[in-house]
Amino acid sequence: MTTPNREIELVWHDLTPRLLEVARVVRVTPRTVRVTLTGAALDGFCYAAPDDHVKVFFPEPGAALPVMPTLGPDGLESPPPGAPKPTFRDYTVRHHRPEQRELDLDFVLHGHGPAGSWAAQATPGQVLGVLGPRGSTINPFTFDWYLFAGDETALPAVAVWLERVPAGVPVFAFLDVADAAEEQQLAITADTTLVWLHRDRGVDGGQLEQAIRGLELPPGDGYCWVAGEATSLKPIRRYLRTLGLSRDWVEVDGYWKRGVVNLDHHDDDDD
Ligand SMILES: Cc1cc2nc3c(=O)[nH]c(=O)nc-3n(C[C@H](O)[C@H](O)[C@H](O)COP(=O)(O)OP(=O)(O)OC[C@H]3O[C@@H](n4cnc5c(N)ncnc54)[C@H](O)[C@@H]3O)c2cc1C
């Protein structure tokens, strides 16, 4: 029997800055807003992997257009001295409909920050800047099982992971959300165990870790993808590293950090 290809491939894309118009704004849940962006500038947009994400550039309060990035040979660069600085944050592609020239981004309304504040007032006709995705991490979908977990910021990626794993492969998904109203209807196969954890019922905040530790994983090679608040992910990352899976098969990314403005890189430290 030949061993299936379980290589995770990173594919790079051209970095094109795009100005896009808000076509629609839909409240998916009380704390999540789906913004549909559109425009001819979307032609050529590359979208390949569930966790593909873009940098979104927001207009300053009162301005119609965002300050766009300065790009150099290695990507994003600091603006020249004296030039206005762009305000940007990372967001996951929830849907891309190339024929309709539409891109959906789901924003968590967490009550602070330029991105959260912009999303709370988003209206059709407004303009945002988008840069990326810079690259896509391509999963061969040949693993014996999959584990996906995270909070609301990870939900757009987890939703796409769940849509893409082939039927017949065991999938375990844990989504840690504020309360029952934050649950979303997700497309899952009959082999998927999807568990919603509600923080309003949590006692010590470690319910995602407890749920993952409590899972009896099937034999064979598994792929784990977890994202959310950086500090709370550290014990999960440490635990998943003990499972004996190849390091490339365990992806744990801090998507934001409590008390930190714009965690401007994925926090994927090993500690
Ligand atoms: C690769 C990647 C993909 C991401 N995809 C998404 C996505 O699809 N949808 C999404 O909503 N977010 C996503 N995020 C997270 C998002 O980029 C951060 O939450 C970002 O900090 C929001 O910016 P802000 O301007 O609202 O807040 P900031 O100005 O960055 O932060 C202000 C304050 O708000 C707090 N804060 C930030 N985010 C949250 C939060 N979610 N809940 C509670 N408090 C928070 C910070 O700790 C800080 O104290 C992603 C992050 C990464 C790295």
- Give the mutation target among 90, 103, 105, 121 for probing the ligand 1 site: most ligand atoms within 8 A of CB: 90
- Give the mutation target among 76, 89, 103 for probing the ligand 1 site: most ligand atoms within 8 A of CB: 89
Is the distance from CB of 152 to CB of 33 less than 8 angstroms? Answer: no
CA-nearest residue for atom 45, ligand 1, is 110
Our answer on whether the CB atom of 90 is closer than 6 Å to any ligand 1 atom is yes
Our answer on whether the CB atom of 32 is closer than 6 Å to any ligand 1 atom is no
Average pLDDT on 193-202 reads 90
Closest approach atom of ligand 1 to CA 253? 53
pLDDT value of position 204: 62
203-232 residue pLDDT tens: 566 999 999 999 999 999 999 999 999 999
| pTM score | 0.96
* Amino acid at the residue 145: W
pLDDT value of position 55: 97
**113 CA distance to ligand 1 middle (Å):** 8
**255 CA distance to ligand 1 middle (Å):** 7
CA-nearest residue for atom 38, ligand 1, is 256
Our answer on whether the CB atom of 118 is closer than 6 Å to any ligand 1 atom is no
pLDDT value of position 80: 87
Our answer on whether the CB atom of 116 is closer than 6 Å to any ligand 1 atom is yes
pLDDT value of position 78: 87
pLDDT value of position 116: 97
Average pLDDT on 16-43 reads 98
Residue predicted with more confidence, 79 or 141: 141
Residue predicted with more confidence, 265 or 212: 212
Residue 271 has pLDDT above 60, yes or no: no
Average pLDDT on 237-242 reads 97
Our answer on whether the CB atom of 57 is closer than 6 Å to any ligand 1 atom is no
Residue 202 has pLDDT above 70, yes or no: no
Per the DSSP assignment, residues forming a β-bridge with 197 are 176
Our answer on whether the CB atom of 13 is closer than 6 Å to any ligand 1 atom is no
**262 CA distance to ligand 1 middle (Å):** 7
Average pLDDT on 146-160 reads 98
Residue predicted with more confidence, 65 or 72: 65
Residue 270 has pLDDT above 60, yes or no: no
**46 CA distance to ligand 1 middle (Å):** 23
Our answer on whether the CB atom of 266 is closer than 6 Å to any ligand 1 atom is yes
Is the distance from CB of 67 to CB of 85 less than 8 angstroms? Answer: yes
Domains, the chain, with CATH or none:
10-135 (2.40.30.10), 141-256 (3.40.50.80)
pLDDT value of position 76: 83
